Amino acid sequence: MTEYSPKKADSSSLPKLSIQSKSSSSLDNDLLYFLKKKWTQFWNEPEFFTFGAERFQGQGLICHQHTDSLFSSTSGFSNYRGLINLCIVLLALSNGRVALENVIKYGLLVNPMYWVRLFVFQGPKDWPCAVLVAASNVFLLTCFGLEKLLSQRTIAESVGRSLHILNLLVILCLPAGLVLYIHPNPVFSSVVLSMYTIIFLKLISYVTVNRWCREHSQSKKSLRKRQKSTSSLSSSGDLADTKYIEYPNNLNLKDFYYFMVAPTLCYELNFPRSARIRKRFLIKRLIEMVILSQVLLALVQQWMFPTINNSMKPFHESNYPSILERLLKLAIPNHILWLIFFYWFFHSCLNVVAELLMFGDREFYKDWWNAESITGFWSSWNIPVHKWARRHLYLPMVKSGYDKMTSSVVVFLVSAFFHEVLQLSYY
């Protein structure tokens, strides 16, 4: 079978182009010449007689090919940024409408003095909370004194352990008992319970690490290895040029109270330190702290309080459809407040404290928004607590012979317990 190759036609073989008109003399001679020329070019064009797809596609004559739709999993398309922007616009419009409806319905409810009155003593019921804040130093110094005695071998290890346990039990139970018995200001008592919970976790880490140091003294080889691993960072300006401390030289009040204020729950003898305080960074975080705190308080007053007050009647009447509707209505402001609080506390507040103390480890959170499971979320959004639970609960249990599932369940139960402790002021 031979390939067809069109030959150039001469003028005698061309189809006759006839133009009929009522008065041929009225047709312009130039127009007739142009039409004849174009007809001749069309007839002699070889591409019109070549049936290869590549010929037509190059000239835009073929417009179809085998292609998957963009939303199909086999298309390989993954850029949905425009849809995300559209969702943000819809979210802004929806919440803007809700905010306008709220102001029209309830008026402007924001009153900064309301929160000032909550934090100011309102009577004798608030005095125990103020006393607990001042008395926290008694428990801190008790722990520090016991560690000094243990380092000097003045008391036996078993005696020191028993006294530490007693001190920790008092720290855990005393504020909770006073709050349940006296029912002081809920906001102020929540702050006190949070403070004592943090102290409890910090002291457990402090006592445990010092016990590890007594049982397993650091060798010179491991110390030189750590100094070598951090020397490159120190020379780059990210870390301060500090001297590394060995046990028991760390047992001093300066080191102890630095750990009590530092934004971490896990004690180390040598924390990573930054070389200087970045003033511009610090000012930005301080501005965020002030503005976002006011936004949080305003949203609670304007958005949460009316919805909660309107939810009391369905709960008392056990009207379950209305209860579900109220819960769904509360879900939106609750999530927004949680997101703002997360940024305010874990980014703004903790970075302010870390910057003032020149604390080098700023990993207070990870990308929990990309978590693929509940476990991934809980291990990403609160890194200080996650590090403490892993270091002082999970890993010791695994090393003691417990399986990973049992250790994870214990960590979950301990976390749930402390969440309930923080809610005691609202009972």
3-class secondary-structure state, position 236: helix
The 10 Å Cβ neighbour count of residue 386 is 19
Distance between first and last Cα of the chain: 94
* Annotated catalytic residue within 347, 386, 392, 419: 419
Query: What are the φ/ψ torsions at residue 422 (nearest 5 degrees)?
Result: -70, -20
Determine the distance from the C-alpha atom of residue 110 to the mean position of all C-alpha atoms in its chain, rounded to a whole number.
Answer: 28
Establish whether the linkage from the previous residue to 248 is cis, with ω within 30° of 0: yes
Residue 399, Cβ density class (10 Å: 0-12 exposed, 13-18 middle, ≥19 buried): exposed
3-class secondary-structure state, position 67: coil
Distance separating alpha carbons of residues 427 and 423, to the nearest angstrom:
7
Distance separating alpha carbons of residues 418 and 422, to the nearest angstrom:
6
- 2: DSSP letter: P
To the query of whether residue 347 is one of the catalytic residues in this protein, the response is: no
The 10 Å Cβ neighbour count of residue 231 is 12
Q: Note whether 269 and 250 are within 8 A (CB).
A: yes
DSSP 309-360: HHHHHHHHHT-HHHHHHHHHHHHHHHHHHHHHHHIIIIIIIHHHHHHHHTB-
Helix locations, 237-278, DSSP H = 253-261
Q: Note whether 246 and 226 are within 8 A (CB).
A: no
3-class secondary-structure state, position 358: coil
Residue length of the chain: 427
Which residues contact residue 186 at a Cβ distance below 8 angstroms, ignoring those fewer than 6 apart?
425, 426
- Of 364, 375, 371, whose CA–CA distance to 409 is shortest? 375
Amino acid at 181: Y
State the catalytic residues: 419
